[in-house]
């Protein structure tokens, strides 16, 4: 494939950005003196800094290439990932779960499992999360390599290694602190660097109405331009999924499983300076999350509309005879941006991928160091030793991510890959966390075996469908074949299996006393945060505003 090509100005912008990022890592290194500085950024951030970093940690390859490509594949239904698949869970995290996380002074989500249950449950989740994080980390390396491959013409191997080395250098120097700073920078780069794609796309095609007309002509049988009105019949929407799968699988299990238990994003809230800032972190991020479809989803819809015009010359890349849906956004940038602006667009993409990669690696090194290494391998490790281990695990994590990047490349869409991974780990973990945080009599044995049952069942269902041992319809309860519907329903069944096994075993195993669980279980813990603060200044007030906006958006695009 011939490279799209970059001008001298484009190269200058990209090189300046990479130099700036590495410079930040070097500058912040002198402030990274303790293990708390490296793993939690010293717990000094405001709610705005933590909130932007919270969202930016999620704004990696999945959000940009993956969601734009998935919109081309599935249509407007992908907006569900931003709205019902994010907002309720983000608000629930801020209002109900963050007080338990932050006040217990834990350094990771598995750390809460140790306090609430026991060491074996913590280690089990730590290992599962570490594996999941490295699998997800490979997505960002693959996406960075796709951009370098598309615009510069470098081969895949050179692109992968160039991306990996850059991330390894600046995260190793100052850990979470440098990751958060670069995440905030890339947040603004994405908005300034990519919003023009949507604007110029509307200008070329004529209007929002014309885009809808072209897409509806694309398929008269399936709707690619609605959110809920075509969800009653899987055959009438681009994702081929029933509304029950969206609500139960995505809106409840996958969404809450990711936003309330995934340490990658929660770690940013842990860096906040106090509990109120930590609670406000996901609530502030929810407003920006709701706005992102107007960049990402709209870009995917523009790509569909252009592909329907034989005179536009727009066509997605082909890899080994298969359509590469993830190439939609890079090709739109190349189409609309002139010399110099292409460099800004490419830099915005690379910034997103580097921030996502840095977020994954900083979360991995924390969980590995505290929840696996210190917990199992070296219980007497000193703070200085843990700092060295954190830096060493960063290098190892990046190297392993290179291998997972090649696996991610084999999937037709990185979004399908991501949802499969989340259904293996996050779905059953959410069941364990929910039961443990709200029901005091859930036992350590119940949590441990329930978590194992949930993860094993989810992975088994995935393998059974992949190798055609069972028909997909058994999981989705529908004769319509859809990878995404299978992901949604597999997550739901994994969650349900985990709940049932956990509850049943808890009924017959030794319970911890209520006194031991004070501060860890709702109902046993006295909550006095914001006791004398007016309602309009509380996190609950801003969460209510976010919820109202969320409902309005779903009605407008019904």
pLDDT tens, residue by residue, 353-374:
766 676 777 777 777 877 788 7
C-alpha span between 543 and 54 (Å, rounded): 16
459 CB-contact burial (10 Å; exposed 0-12 / middle 13-18 / buried 19+):
middle
The residue among 250, 283, 285 whose CA lies nearest residue 92 is 283
The answer to whether 124 and 110 have CB atoms below 8 angstroms apart is no
Local confidence band at 198 (pLDDT 50, 70, 90 cut-offs): confident
**Domain annotation covers residue 383:** yes
Which DSSP symbol is given to 405?
H
Q: What distance in Å separates the CA atoms of residue 330 and residue 484, rounded to the nearest whole number?
A: 24
pLDDT number for residue 91:
94
Beta strands in 79-134 (DSSP E): none
Range of the domain at 25: 8-410
Please tell me which residue, 413 or 133, carries the higher pLDDT value.
Answer: 133
Do 178 and 365 meet the contact criterion of CB atoms below 8 Å apart?
Answer: no
Min mean pLDDT across 222-226, 481-485, 538-542 is at 481-485
Tens of pLDDT, residue by residue over 100-115, are 777 666 666 777 888 8
* Mean pLDDT, residues 166-192 taken together: 65
- For 10, 277, 282, 397, the CA distances from 49, given in Å and listed in that order, are 29, 10, 11, 26
Model-wide pTM > 0.85: no
Q: Per the domain annotation, does 280 fall within a domain? A: yes
In a domain, 257, yes or no: yes
Q: Which residue has the higher pLDDT, 291 or 55?
A: 291
Map residue 315 onto helix, strand or coil: coil
Which pLDDT belongs to residue 33?
Answer: 54
Q: What pLDDT, on a 0 to 100 scale, did the predictor assign at position 39? A: 45
Share above pLDDT 90 across residues of the chain, in percent, rounded to a whole number: 13
- For residues 361 and 394, the answer to whether their CB atoms sit within 8 Å is yes
Count the neighbouring beta carbons within 10 Å of the beta carbon of residue 469: 10
d(CA 100, CA 116): 10
286-324 per-position pLDDT tens digit: 998 998 888 888 988 998 888 887 777 788 777 666 777
Structure tokens at 26: 């070097």
For residue 85, what are the contacts with CB-CB under 8 A and spacing of at least 6? Answer: 250, 251, 254, 255
User: Is-contact 151 4, C-beta < 8 A?
Assistant: yes
Beta bridge partners of 323: 318
CB-CB contact of 255 with 80 (8 Å): no
Q: 526: Cβ–Cβ under 8 A, 6 or more apart, which residues? A: none
Predicted confidence (pLDDT) per residue in 223-235, tens digit:
888 889 888 888 8
Residue 84 falls inside a structural domain: yes
**Residue 164: which residues within 8 A CB-CB, separation 6 or more?**
141, 398, 399, 401, 402
pLDDT for position 50? 73
Neighbouring residues of 390: CB distance < 8 A, sequence distance ≥ 6 = 35, 38, 39, 175, 365, 366, 369
Confidence at residue 146, expressed as pLDDT on a 0 to 100 scale = 73
What secondary structure letter does DSSP report for 468? T
Residue 326 forms part of a structural domain: yes
Q: Supply the pLDDT for residue 405.
A: 77
pLDDT for residue 173:
59
Query: Is the per-residue pLDDT at 529 higher than 80?
Result: no
**Run of H or E including 318:** strand 318-319
Is the distance from CB of 226 to CB of 213 less than 8 angstroms?
no
Closest to 281 in 3D by CA, of 543, 80, 35: 543
Nearest to 350 by CA among 61, 139, 71: 61
Split at pLDDT 50, 70, 90, the class of 473 is confident
Distance between CA atoms of residues 370 and 374, nearest Å: 5
Question: Which two tokens mark 17?
Answer: 């950005």
Looking at the predicted structure, is the pLDDT value of residue 45 above 60?
Answer: yes
**What's the rounded Cα separation, in Å, for the pair 195 and 35?**
38
Res 177 pLDDT > 70: no
Taking only the tens place, the pLDDT of each residue in 378-399 is 877 777 777 778 778 878 887 8
DSSP state at residue 512 = P
Measured CA to CA, the distance from residue 401 to residue 136 in angstroms comes to: 8
Q: What is the CATH number of the domain that holds 236?
A: 1.20.1730.10
% of the chain beyond a pLDDT of 70 = 81
Residue 312 and residue 305: Cα distance in Å, rounded? 10
Give me the pLDDT at residue 407, please.
74
Q: Is the separation of the CB atoms in 353 and 147 below 8 Å? A: yes
The span from the CA of 414 to the CA of 207, in Å, is 30
404 within some domain: yes
For residue 374, the model assigns a pLDDT of: 79
> What is the rounded average pLDDT of the residues 59-71?
74
Instruction: Report the pLDDT value the prediction gives residue 319, as an integer from 0 to 100.
Output: 66
**In a domain? residue 428:** no
- Return the pLDDT at 49: 74
Average pLDDT over residues 55-78: 77
The structural domain count of the chain equals 1
**Is 90 part of any domain?**
yes
Q: How confident is the model at residue 1 (pLDDT cuts 50, 70, 90)?
A: very low
Q: How many Å apart are CA 417 and CA 484, to the nearest integer?
A: 10
Establish how many alpha carbons lie within 13 A of residue 555's alpha carbon, considering only the half-sphere containing its beta carbon. 6
Q: Which two tokens stand for residue 94?
A: 């801020």
Q: Token pair of 430, please?
A: 């959410």
Supply the mean pLDDT for the chain: 79
- Secondary structure of residue 322 in the 3-state scheme: strand
CA distances from 380 to 36, 101, 114, 370, 385 (A): 17, 24, 17, 11, 10
At residue 541, the 3 state secondary structure works out as helix
Which pLDDT band, with edges at 50, 70 and 90, does 40 fall under?
A: very low
Comparison of pLDDT for 192 and 368, the residue scoring more:
368
348: which residues sit within 8 A by CB, 6+ positions away? 186, 189, 190, 192, 193, 194
- Considering only residues 144 and 440, tell me which one the structure prediction assigns the higher pLDDT: 440
């Amino acid at each position: 494939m011939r490279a799209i090509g970059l001008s001298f100005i484009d190269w200058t912008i990209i090189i300046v950005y990479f130099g700036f990022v590495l410079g930040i890592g070097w500058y912040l290194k002198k402030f990274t003196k303790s293990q708390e500085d490296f793993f939690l950024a010293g717990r000094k951030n405001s709610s705005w800094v933590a909130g932007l970093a919270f969202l930016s940690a999620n704004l990696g390859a999945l959000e940009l290439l993956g969601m734009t490509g998935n919109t081309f594949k599935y249509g407007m239904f992908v907006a569900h990932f931003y709205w019902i698949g994010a907002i309720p869970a983000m608000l629930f995290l801020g209002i109900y779960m963050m007080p338990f996380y932050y006040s217990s002074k834990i350094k990771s989500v598995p750390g809460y499992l140790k306090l609430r249950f026991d060491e074996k449950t913590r280690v089990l989740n730590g290992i599962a999360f570490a594996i999941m994080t490295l699998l997800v980390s490979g997505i960002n390396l693959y996406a960075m390599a796709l951009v370098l491959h598309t615009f510069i013409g470098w081969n895949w191997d050179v692109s992968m290694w160039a991306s990996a080395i850059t991330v390894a250098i600046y995260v190793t120097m100052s850990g979470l602190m440098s990751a958060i700073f670069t995440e905030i920078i890339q947040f603004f780069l994405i908005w300034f660097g990519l919003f023009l794609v949507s604007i110029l796309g509307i200008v070329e095609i004529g209007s929002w109405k014309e885009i809808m007309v072209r897409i509806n002509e694309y398929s008269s049988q399936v709707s690619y331009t609605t959110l809920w009105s075509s969800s009653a019949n899987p055959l009438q929407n681009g994702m081929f999924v029933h509304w029950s799968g969206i609500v139960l699988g995505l809106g409840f299990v996958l969404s809450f499983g990711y936003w309330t238990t995934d340490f990658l994003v929660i770690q940013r809230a842990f860096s906040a300076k106090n509990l109120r800032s930590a609670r406000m972190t996901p609530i502030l991020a929810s407003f920006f999350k709701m706005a992102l479809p107007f960049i990402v989803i709209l870009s995917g819809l523009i790509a569909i509309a252009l592909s329907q015009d034989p005179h536009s010359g727009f066509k997605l890349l082909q890899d080994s005879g298969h359509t590469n849906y993830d190439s939609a956004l890079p090709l739109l940038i190349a189409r609309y941006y002139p010399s110099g602006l292409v460099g800004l667009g490419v830099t915005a993409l690379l910034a997103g991928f580097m921030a996502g990669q840095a977020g994954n690696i900083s979360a991995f090194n924390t969980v590995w160091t505290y929840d696996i290494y210190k917990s199992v391998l070296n219980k007497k490790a000193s703070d200085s030793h843990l700092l060295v281990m954190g830096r060493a695990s960063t290098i190892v994590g990046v190297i392993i991510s290179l291998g997972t990047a090649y696996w991610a490349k084999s999937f037709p869409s990185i979004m399908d890959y991501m949802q499969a991974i989340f259904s293996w780990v996050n779905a059953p973990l959410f069941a364990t966390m929910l039961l443990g945080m709200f029901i005091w009599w859930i036992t350590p044995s119940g949590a441990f075996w329930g978590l194992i049952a949930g993860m094993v069942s989810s992975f088994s269902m995935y393998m059974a469908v992949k190798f055609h041992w069972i028909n997909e319809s058994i999981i989705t309860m529908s004769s319509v074949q859809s990878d995404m519907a299978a992901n949604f329903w597999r997550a739901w069944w994994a969650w349900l299996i985990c709940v049932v096994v956990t509850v049943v075993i808890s009924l017959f195993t030794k319970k911890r006393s209520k006194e031991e669980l004070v501060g860890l279980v709702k109902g046993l813990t006295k909550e006095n945060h914001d006791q004398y603060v007016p309602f309009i200044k509380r996190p609950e007030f801003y969460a209510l505003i976010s919820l109202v906006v969320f409902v309005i958006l779903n009605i407008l695009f019904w």
